[in-house]
Structure 1
């Protein structure tokens, strides 16, 4: 089996953006880093006290043949890239969505983490893209896709986005080209799934994660362009606490 990851969260906001709009300031380093998130603000208590936190190490997945493929209904369109000081968030136009278990989840935006947040048998990849969705009744899904330099081939979607990377925190750049996030999807749609949380404060639980098994590629230049801006922006792995991890194939 190969690797795949995804992420989901609040309406119109990524996990990072949602937590950034209120509450105490946090970061990936020092006193405001992940080990101290739970103490920074009472609203962040789940970060230290929760038992279904993300990301985790994928091991010992149980095959569940009843799991259905995720239906993707993504549309190409212009996007806006935002440097929020912690990652690059890509804001998309309304209309793209997925269907999971007969429920529609609308794509809000997607964002990037170096290295990938989910591990598989202890191994992280060079970059992770998390696509963030929300249902009409507020349920959240995160789909993470992991990118690696195994072959070093440039990624076509990144090739459209990276020339427009906003360099300074708090700035945005518009991409008028037709960007389709479906270009990140691997050919093999096998996935792992488990119940987790937002991977940034307030670390809200009850989030369904889907991690695709197959990795996709990016080039060294594409990875460097991101790491120049963000040396490391991933939360450490969290305890599984006996959670069931399932695979659809």
Structure 2
């Protein structure tokens, strides 16, 4: 494969990732293929940079007009609109299944149900509130950088869960992704997240960044320990839950230092 054809292929995989994770109008019917779909985790953090940049712009723009809590609410809302609440939906479904299912089989059955239950509503409300309150308490520039870094690193956290975990179902939309995470794709995802975190040092003190990464690791480990104990592996909903817990852990860690 020539460098030009390689670049075109990577561009196609990136656009397919944007199409998969967001509501942005990527309308190319020739993008999808099983091979490309298997590679999209490599670009999850890069799409996180994109969504985080939009949220940061809303946060800074709204913050020039309104109080911080309203600006934070609008920034989080912008992220929900941009992604179609993709990860939040997974987190809510995981809360319903893990909270309401007495057995592994029942938990997996509940997680297939698209209806929102009590555990999902409570968990999602607390998760969104935590993100809004944490962001509202940060200085404007630090909050903007934390949004971008949090969106990117939390998606790398989900890729790590795919690469090092086991799929819990016999079939489902997440299994082809799980089977396609190669060491090279994992390296690209983690490398992108590491580069974004390093660039965040221009606005965040080193201690704040390390505290944020520590909070992200705790969120990742706590969520994984819970669903792996209950299910013996992950589902697509669990990946959304890992991303959400990692992101709020990052924001809370940064805020704890600031």
Q: Which has the higher helix share?
A: 2
Larger radius of gyration: 2
Q: Which has the higher strand share?
A: 1
TM-score, shorter chain, exceeding 0.5: no
User: TM-score, normalized by length of structure 2?
Assistant: 0.28
Of structures 1 and 2, the one with the larger relative CO (CA 8 A, separation 6+) is: 1
